[in-house]
Structure 1
Amino acid sequence: MDAGLNGDSMEKLKGVRITSLDDDDDDDFEGQENEEEQEPTLEEEEDDDDDEEEEPVTLGFVEKPKHSWSLLRQLFPSKAGGVPAWLDPVNVPSGRSCACDICGNPLQFLLQVYAPISEKESTFHRTLFLFMCPKMSCLRRYQHEQWKCRSKNSSRSVKVFRCQLPHLNPFYSSEAPRLDGTDKPSRSGVALCNWCGTWKGDQFCSSCKKARYCSQQHQVVHRKINCQQLSLSSQLPNSSSSSGETTSLEIIKAASNALWLEYEIINEDESELHAEMSDDKAYDKPLISKKRTDDSMMSLVDCFKGDSDRKCWASFQERIAKAPEQVLRYCRNANAKPLWPTSSGRPSKDDIPNCSYCGSSSDFEFQVLPQLLYYFGVKNDDVDSLDWATIVVYTCRASCEASVAYKQEFAWVQL
C-alpha cells in the first residue's frame, strides 16, 4: 500500500455498506471505562479532522480472488480471512504470541496488508498481520485492558505482527512475480496446524500420528470430526510436500468451518474514487439493505451520551458514505489520523505504547471497519456476536529491524 509498490502489487489491496455497530459493552467495565477514558478537547477534535482530511488515504475493498493462486505468499497478497500467507514462512510467531491472553485459545487470522516502504532496503517486502480472538467477551475485556497497554501486565485478544524482508532474501526470487500461476517460493515453510492452518504444527495427533496441531485446543476440536479426514487429505494432489509444509488444500478441507471466508483486498485511492463516483453510479446498489442500515445507525445514535459523540459519528458517516463498501483505510503518513466513529473511547498519545523493540513512537497505519464482518457472515443477532466500531493499528515509526522475524505492534479497539 506504499507509494513504492509496483502496479501489480498495488492492485492487491472492492466491497459493503455499514453493518450494525451496536455498542454491546458489558456493564462490568462500564464504570471503569468512564473513569479512564477522557473526552478530547474541542481543539483536539478539530485538529484530528483537519489532519485526516489533508492526508491521502487508500481504501481497501474485498472481493473473491480471481485465481486459486492469487493469494499465495510468493505473490505478496493483501487478504482477509482464510489462513495467513506468512511473509517469512519459517520463523512464524509461536508460544504465547499465538494465543488470546484472556481465554488462552489460539487467535484467528483476520487480515494482512502488504505495505512495503520503498525508502529502506530492509522493508522492500513488508506485511502487517492482524489476528483476534473470535469471542466477543474477550474483545470487550480487551477494550478495557488496552487502556493500560503501556504497562507490561495488559492482556490482549487482538494482536498485530509486522514482518519485513530485504529485496535479496532466502524465501523469494529477486525477480518480479509473473502473476500467471507459475510463481514459486524459493524455500518451503514450516509445517502448520492442520486445523487452523495458521500457527506452527509442532504437536502430533496421538491417534493418527500424522495430523499436526498448534495447540491442545485444536487437537481436541479436530478429534471431534475424526482425524481420518486429515489422513485422507494428505493423499490428495497438492498435499503436504516432503518438507512438511502444509498446503491450503489440506487446511481448507479440514478446517473450512473454523475459518472466516477468504477474500482478496483490493485498494483504491480515496480521492480518485470519489471523483469517479461523482459520475459513476456503480455503487448505488449496496449489499446490505438500506432499511437494515438505517435501523442499525439509529440504534447506535440512541446510545450516544453527548453532542461530541453525535458530531463525531456524523462526520464518520459522511466520510464513509462516499465509499460505503470500504473495509479498510490505510495511510502511513506522519500526520495521519484514524477516522473515529465516536469521540469517547479514543486513545490519547500517552495510551499508545512505543515500539517495544527500539523505543520509537508508534504511529497510525491503518484501520479496519465493521463492514468486514458482513463478508465473513458474522451475524450480530445477540450480545455474544463479534462486533466492533473500528480496529486501529499503530506501528513502529522507524519500522525497526529487530532480530525477531515478527515484531508485535499495537491495535486499539473501539466498540
Structure 2
Amino acid sequence: MSSGKPVMELGFVEEGEAWRLCSPQFPSKVGGRPAWLGEVGVPGPDALQCGLCGKQLAFLLQVYAPSAGSFHRTVFLFCCRNPCCHKGTETQCLKLPRKNDTYSYNPPPDTGPDGEECITYQLKCGLHLCRVCGCLGPKTCSKCHNVNYCSKEHQLMDWKLEHKKLCSVHFDGTITAVADHGFLFPEYEIVTEAEELVTETGSRDKNESGTEKDKESLPSGIGTSLEGIHLDEQELDAMANHETKEDKVFNNFRKSIALEPEQVLRYCRDGEPLWISQKNIPRKKDIPNCGCGTKRIFEFQVMPQLLNHLKVDSLEDSIDWGILAVFTCAANCSAEKQYVPEFVWKQEVVGDTV
C-alpha cells in the first residue's frame, strides 16, 4: 500500500559496455568524458572553472532524470581535482549544467553500433571538444590545427603525453586509442533500484534472529557491550537522553545505508537528503532560488562510497566529501532549452566540519 511519499532510488556502479555510456543511450554514469545530451548551449571552459583555484573542473557523474515537461533531461555534476579546494564547506567547485531538449521521443537502440567509435571530439553542429576532458574545446593546436583543448593546462597535458610525437602540418587529428591523461575519473554505469525500507522489527529480509541486522545499525561496540547486561527503565532513559543530536543523525545515516552499503547515489526528486552530520545542514535561505525565480528542491545526493571507486584515496591530501546534495529548479525551467547551472550543497563527514 502506497504511503504517498516519493520513492527513493538507490544508485550503484558497475562496469558498462562503452556504447551504453554514449549520448544516444541517455546514460547515467560516473567518470570518463561527459555524454552531452544536446549540442545547444554546451557550457564553455569559463563555466566549468573551479571558483577557488581557477582550474578546469573534472566531470564526476551524470544522472538521466526525465520529468514532467522534459522527456529527455540529464543532470551533470563536475568537481575540482585539486584536493585543497575540498577543505571546509566550500561549494564553488561544483556546478550542474542541465539539458532538457535534444533527441527524439523514440527510445534509444538496445544494441551497440557496428564499427562506430563511441569517443568523439567533434559535435554534429561543428563544435569541438577538448581531447583531455571532453568538454568544449575552443582552443586549437597552433601547428596542426586539428586537436582542440579547453585550456592551456590540458593542452600541456596532451603535449607531454602524446601530441608532441604526432603533431605536424600533415597530422589529421586521427588517433586510434584514447590516451589516459590522469585527469578523468574511472568510468562506470550507474544502475538503480528502489530502496527497501527497514521495518520496525529489524530488517527487510525478516531474518529469524533479528540480532545481526540490528547490531549493524548500532554504533561500533554498543551491541556487544550490552550483551548480558540488564538495565532498568530509568537507566535506559538516561542512556537515550545522553545521545547527542550528532550521534542520532550519524546513527540514522548508518542505519539507512546498512542494507545497501555499496550505494553511491540516492535519488528522490522533492524528497529529503540523508544527512551524515548534524553540522552544516542548510536552512531554506541557504538554498538559492533558480535563475527563473522558482525555489529549488532536493533531487539527489552523492554518497561518500563513490570515493572508493574514483581512485583518489591517498595518504596525503585527497578530494573528499560526506555527501553532495543536489538541488534543482522545482519548475524544471521548462522554457529553458539549454544547459543551466543548479546548486550543490557539500556536507563533510562527521568530525571534519568546523
Counterpart of 1:240 in structure 2 is none
- Partner letter of residue 69 of structure 1? W
Q: Does 1:61 align with 2:12?
A: yes
Counterpart of 2:146 in structure 1 is 210
Q: 1:164/1:404 Cα in 2 relative to 1: closer, same or farther (>3 Å)?
A: closer
Structure with greater helix percent:
1
- Which of 94, 108, 115 aligns to 2:65? It is 115
> TM-score, structure 2 length as denominator?
0.77
The answer to whether the Cα contact below 8 Å between 1:365 and 1:393 also exists between their aligned partners in 2 is yes
More relative contact order in 1 or in 2 (CA 8 Å, sep 6+)? 1
Where do residues 16-415 of structure 1 align in structure 2 (5 Å cutoff)?
A: 54-65=5-16, 67-117=17-67, 119-120=68-69, 123-140=70-87, 143-144=89-90, 156-165=92-101, 169=102, 172-182=103-113, 188=124, 190-197=127-134, 199-228=135-164, 234-236=173-175, 253-271=178-196, 278=205, 307-333=244-270, 336-356=271-291, 358-382=292-316, 384-403=317-336, 405-415=338-348
Q: Secondary structure at the match of 2:74?
A: strand
Q: Secondary structure at the match of 1:388?
A: coil
Q: Secondary structure at the match of 1:405?
A: coil
Distance 1:204 1:347 in 2: 42
Q: C-alpha offsets along residues 102-143 of structure 1, whole Å, 9 cap, x if unaligned?
A: 1111100000000001x32xx0100000001012221226x2
The answer to whether the Cα contact below 8 Å between 2:62 and 2:77 also exists between their aligned partners in 1 is yes
Q: Secondary structure at the match of 1:392?
A: strand
- Per-residue deviation at 1:206? 2.5
Q: Secondary structure at the match of 1:266?
A: strand
Bigger mean CA offset, 87-96 vs 384-393: 87-96
Q: 1:402/1:324 Cα in 2 relative to 1: closer, same or farther (>3 Å)?
A: same
What is the percentage of aligned positions where both structures have the same residue?
A: 40
Whose Rg is larger?
2
> TM-score, structure 1 length as denominator?
0.67
Aligned residues: 303
For structure 2, list consecutive stretches of 5 or more residues without a partner in the other structure.
208-215, 222-242, 349-354
- Per-residue deviation at 1:220? 2.2
Distance 1:378 1:315 in 2: 27
